[in-house]
Structure 1
Amino acid sequence: MSVELLLLITGLLLGVSIVATRTSSRFGVPALLLFLTIGMLAGSEGPGGLEFGDYQLAQTVGVVALIFILFSGGLDTTWSAIRPVFAQGMLLANVGVLLSAMLLGGFAILLFGFDWKTGLLLGAIVSSTDAAAVFSVMRERGVNLKHNLEPLIELESGSNDPIAVFLTLGLVGLILTPASSLIDLVPSFILQMTLGAGGGWLCGFLMVMAINRIRLQQEGLYVVFSLALTLLCYGLVALLGGNGFLAVYLAGIIVGNRNIVHKRTILRFHDGVAWLMQITMFLSLGLLVFPSALIPVAPQGLLVALFLIFIARPISVAAVLIWFRRSLRELLMVSWAGLRGAVPIVLATFPLIAGVPDAIMIFNVIFFVVLVSVLLQGMSINWVAKWLGVNAERAEPSESQVYIPDVKLSSRMVEAIIPADSPFVDRSLIDIGLPRGVLVVQIQRGETPILPSGGTVLRADDHLLVLATPETIPILKQIYSNAKVRLVNAGALRQEV
């Protein structure tokens, strides 16, 4: 295939997928299901007739896509929202996944006659909820849950992939090396989670520091820099033996909850990247599957999906959250929101590539389960939330993670001069720690007026025009006093109509 034809097909598939999102919003069909369908139609057994059977490439695409989807999910996660449910989310993401894997593994042993390792492998692959599916479906379906359910569900979906990846790889190793034991996986799991969590927190703070201090000339370079830092975070933690997926998600939470230069641009860029990664991942996985291979496993796949949705998931959710005095309505909502997406399909490629017996059947069953989950749960999640009485009207969309100064009509204008001996000299505005109710609206540098941003670096003899709320004036004066900044005027702000 020529490069020109490859680019034409790629552009066509991306364009059709994006246009298909209009159908998603109009008819209530989850966009992720449409992406999968488009990939299947473009595949070798569809009208497109594209031959694609490279499981290794599909796995690589899935891993890279998941890195950026998790990082973007972390950026959109407000720490103040998830803090009250942090313990619940972490237990659900780990203990809940383990219980789901065990329950579904036992069912697979009875249904398919697998040995315990293969049965547990199938359960582990499809045990975690999918961050891409949950983030996407809940937003496009207008779900706005009460009682801190939404941050709980999103925290769980963003942080439960690491244990699913670990269990899948560990069980693949157990199957291929019969002499090993399940107990041997415990130290490795503890090490991966510890390094992943610690590395993620450290990477997050280092990313904030790097973005704020690099002082690039072009705004567009900041988003490219954030891409590089995300890949560095995953690669470094993974090479050290930690879980890179957990690391990038935690790093995203830290970056998203701190003030950084060009934050609005970076957040919007990563939101676009996350959509591109979702489309690419679902298209490639749709190309990978043969629809004719799904028909023979449809009855078993449907049974597995129904067992997962109506038995394994509710039991695991209840076993974890019942201790936090959650109501039955809340437990049912969390259970129903456990969508499966591309992650289980990506994980199903690991036993295929490793040569595990029955791997192709497991892959087809998992693919069918994902289709049922996205179709059944994705299309009905808004209706179920309203039926259970846990959905609220969604407020107008807001960028809560973007710094917006608290400027009011009562704000006052303050003029100040930066002396040569001030510690503010050669520091950017974002680094000097101004209160939220303070906004630097202009800097006069000699004869040149400057409209400042967070990355603007202060120089000696700069004249600052600052807008401050009355309650922040004393704080601002104290900050300026400590930094040897001379106040020139603090007159009332007048507005002419």
Structure 2
Amino acid sequence: MTQLFSLESYNYYLLAAGIITLLAALIPNIFQKKYLTPAIIYLLIGIGIAFAGGKYGNFDIMQHTNAIRHISEFVLIIALTNAGLKIKKPFSWQTWKYSFRLLLITMPLTIIGAAYLGWWLLSLAPAAAVLFGALISPTDPVLASELQTSRPSKKDLSKIRLGLTSEAGLNDGLAFPFTYFAIYLAKNGLDYSQWIGEWFYIEVLYKIAAGTIIGFLAGWFLYKLIFKITDESHHSNISRGILSLAITLLPYGLTELLGGYGFIAVFIAACTFSNQEDQIQHMDTLHDFTEEIERIFVAFLFIFVGIYVYVSINELLDLMIIATALTVLLFIRPLSGWIALYKTDLSTFEKFALSFYGIRGVGSLFYMMYAFDKVTFPNAYELIHVTTVIIVLSVFMHGILAASMQKKLV
């Protein structure tokens, strides 16, 4: 007798992927301007799946570091392209006057404060403590999109939106040197005199410079190739989806092959490509495509995080872990931001918003998995637990406040 119903697991995965993709299309529109952001909904869905399924008791995240790393990596580079396309005047000092302070002052202070906190409260080994500081230091370009500046063609005068977009665009790449500092520390020990020179010249100077230069050249070349060399009558026939992926993957892949920081290259390439007012209508369609791809992968990733939260709830509810997470989110990042912005012309509310809204998310997952793939870290599970709690608390805390914050942004 012919079997009508296919029980292959592959088909179940396809069905699940289709459902999650549908959710990624519907949820951002349903909950637009509500107090529940899409990431919150995806987390709750993941928790509900784990509660209903009950088959995840032996799940070990350390067995899946490579998969989590690559998924989070792809989400980040798409989000960085999206952020770069949004910035109206990427090479104007007015665009960067506040975010440079956040990058040069807030980020290092956050790393130092979080590293000390991890060592003091969680008894992390020095290498693990430094990695903890590095991985929670960037403002996430994925989850911070709720308060980022508007699509390319729409005028947006908000200093807060512009500051968060430009900060999130660069500090994911700038967290890499500090992550490598933790990797060197784990590999070579506390005698930094043996490796500090190599770290500084390679991981800081060369890789940042390579990402910046390749990103600029790639963005300039792609713009000239698409809009200057090809006939203007053919511009409307160019697939915006294919072009968006080219702007993302070409600079990223080339930079990584040459040993630079691909995150920096992707953001700089998108900024360079979009720095043309005469093609603003095309930038909108590129932005819209990258945003759609970003939404799909965010849904997958945070449903997975929700599942992990449910199956690891006993470890995550540790008092010291919760205290560490709350201190990072409510004290270390806001205070570091306030110090950086203290003598600026921003209002008290603007300083508070830029200081407080340093949401943690996909970038933290990526850097943690990246470091774990490079070297064995002490306290790996403690790092996973505290990072998960920080992400979850940040998603809820910053997400719930996003709707009320948007009403005050000017």
Verify: 1:231 aligned to 2:238, yes or no. no
**Separation in 2, partners of 1:71, 1:192:** 19
Contact preservation (8 Å) 2:315, 2:385: no
* Equivalent position of 2:160 in the other structure: 149
| Shift, 1:145, TM fit | 9.0
Residue in 1 that maps onto 2:53:
47
What is residue 428 of structure 1 aligned with on the other side?
none
- The alpha-carbon distance between structure 1 residues 48 and 35, as it changes in their structure 2 partners (threshold 3 A), is farther
- Equivalent-residue separation in structure 2 for 1:203 and 1:175 (angstroms): 35
User: Is 1:270 paired with 2:290?
Assistant: yes
Aligned position for 1:113: 123
Alignment equivalent of 1:183, drawn from 186, 189, 196: 196
Matches within 5 A, 1:347-366: 347-353=367-373, 354-366=375-387
Q: Which runs of 5+ in 2 are unaligned?
A: 1-7
Deviation at 1:40, TM superposition (A): 4.0
Counterpart in the other structure of 2:315: 296
Note the 1:56-455 alignment, pairs <5 A.
Answer: 56-79=66-89, 83-136=93-146, 148-178=159-189, 181=192, 183-184=196-197, 185-187=199-201, 188-212=203-227, 213-214=229-230, 219=237, 221-258=239-276, 259-260=278-279, 262-287=282-307, 289-298=308-317, 299-353=319-373, 354-383=375-404, 391-392=409-410
- Normalising by structure 1, what TM-score? 0.70
- Report the CA distance shift for 1:333/1:146 in structure 2 as closer, same or farther (over 3 A): farther
Q: Which structure would you say has the larger RCO, counting Cα contacts within 8 Å and 6 or more residues apart?
A: 2
Give 3-state SS (helix, strand or coil) of 1:78's partner: coil
Other-structure match for 2:41: 34
Q: Distance in 2 between matches of 1:217 and 1:154?
A: 28
Structure having the higher strand fraction is 1
Q: How many angstroms apart in 2 are the aligned matches of 1:381 and 1:26?
A: 8
Residue deviations 1:71-108 (CA, integer Å, cap 9, x gap):
01111111179641414313312432111010011111
Q: What are the Cα deviations for residues 45-88 of structure 1, in whole angstroms up to 9, with x where unaligned?
A: 65374778522111111111211111011111111796414143
State the Cα deviation string for residues 183-241 of structure 1 (Å, max 9, x = none).
34222212221111122111111110122234569825353144134211101112222
Percent identity reads 20
Amino acid at match of 1:190: L
- Residue 309 of structure 1 aligns to which amino acid in structure 2? L
Matched with 1:433 is none
Query: Are the structure 2 counterparts of residues 271 and 296 from structure 1 closer, same or farther at C-alpha, using a change threshold of 3 Å?
Result: closer
Inter-partner Cα distance in structure 2 for 1:20 and 1:222: 24
Change (3 A) 1:49 1:228: farther
* Matched residue SS, 2:323: helix
Unaligned segments of structure 1, at least 5 residues: 393-497
- For the pair 1:6 / 2:19, whether they are aligned, the reply is no
- Quick one: distance in 2 between partners of 1:262 and 1:127? 33
Cα 1:81–1:371 shift into 2, 3 Å? farther
Structure possessing the higher radius of gyration over alpha carbons: 1
Judging by fraction of residues, say which structure has more helix. Answer: 2
Q: Give 1:367 deviation, angstroms.
A: 0.8
Alpha-carbon distance, 1:370 to partner: 0.9
TM-score computed with the length of structure 2 as normaliser: 0.83
Q: Distance in 1 between matches of 2:287 and 2:351?
A: 32
Instruction: Report which stretch shifted further, 358-367 or 115-124.
Output: 115-124
C-alpha distance after superposition, 1:113-170 (max 9, x if no partner) = 2233322211211111101111135589xxx997622201211111110122332233
CA distance in structure 2 between the aligned counterparts of 1:378 and 1:55, rounded to whole angstroms: 26
Indicate how the Cα distance of structure 1 residues 147 and 23 shifts in structure 2: closer, same or farther if over 3 A, else same. closer
**Compared with structure 1, are the counterparts of its residues 293 and 208 closer, same or farther at alpha carbon in structure 2 (3 Å cutoff)?**
same
Q: Secondary structure at the match of 1:241?
A: coil
CA distance in 2, matches of 1:206, 1:320: 36
